[in-house]
Amino acid sequence: MRGAEAKNTRTTAGTGVRKKRILALARNLFWQKGYHSVSMRDLAHAYGCQPANLYNYFKTKESILFEVLLEEMEQIIQPIAHIEAEEDGDPVEQLRLIIFGHLNVTLSYRRSAKTLFDVALGSLSPRDRKVIVSMRDTYDRIIRKVIKRGQERGLFVSCDEKVAGFMIASMITRTRIWFHPGKGLTVAELAQFIFRFTLRAIGAREEVERAVASGNTAGRDAKRIRHLKDTAADSQRFNFPASA
């Protein structure tokens, strides 16, 4: 730790280049083959060294997983963290920001993919898992707040915003399974699809929807529609132990 800078100037470049390169390789391998199916030998071979050398950079295999997941969650949360406190923002635009950002992080740099997140969470130490889960909770909190604000302004249909948030995150998360770049929609097109799909699902009026699609955000002051009550699902008693 102490002489990290000195070491790196001496060889190639800035601070921790080697560690970052290993981390990038681990990220790709984990997403491709799953955490348990990637051995330290695999990772060492990808980096071009013996397994023992990896322990000069990481304490355990689990700590590598932790850093990979942490990096991912930061990329998702950082661009939308400001939304939670912005009470006066446009919910439709905020939703667009969340969906596009989340999908971009989800589908960038990856070819095939496993659902690393769900499975590997159990491999983390309780301490590390707490960190990741709390970041996921932050994401859930933000998207729910946006939905609720839209409902309160009559922009969206009234329904359980927790479950609705799960639905949105689920659609985005699972693109990892079926989406292949270059074979159909682009990532941007897919994001647009999910965005409009979601807007309709939460009952945004068609006028708002089309206005937003054409870049016009002035549809905010259009007349309200009558609320549709979800007979079964608008009970607020739903608890959320884990999410997407």
Residues lying near its own copies in the complex (CB under 8 A): 33-34, 36-37, 114-115, 118-119, 122, 157, 159-160, 163-164, 166-167, 169-171, 173-175, 177-178, 180, 183-185, 188-190, 192-194, 196-198, 200-203, 206, 209-210, 213, 228, 230-233, 235, 237-244
For residue 117, the minimal CB distance to its own copies (Å) is: 9
> Could you give the CA distance from residue 113 to residue 37 in angstroms, rounded to a whole number?
13
Distances (CA, A) of 120 to 33, 79, 96, 203, 243: 12, 25, 29, 35, 14
Contact 202, 147 (CB under 8 A): yes
Give CA–CA dist 235/112, Å, rounded.
Answer: 39
Cβ(68)–Cβ(27) below 8 Å: yes
Q: Could you tell me the smallest distance in angstroms from the CB atom of residue 50 to DNA?
A: 4
Residue 42 binds: one of DNA, its own copies, none (C-beta under 5 to 8 A by kind): DNA
Q: Which of 25, 38, 143, 191 binds DNA (CB under 7 A)?
A: 38
Closer residue to DNA in complex, CB, 9/112: 9
- Select from 41, 82, 130, 180 the one that contacts DNA (CB under 7 A): 41
Taking residue 230's Cβ as centre, other Cβ atoms within 10 Å add up to: 15
Dihedral (CA of 97, 100, 106, 110) sign: negative
Q: Which is nearer to its own copies, 4 or 228 (CB)?
A: 228
Q: Which residues bind DNA (CB under 7 A)?
A: 1-4, 6-11, 18, 38-42, 48-53, 55-57, 60-62
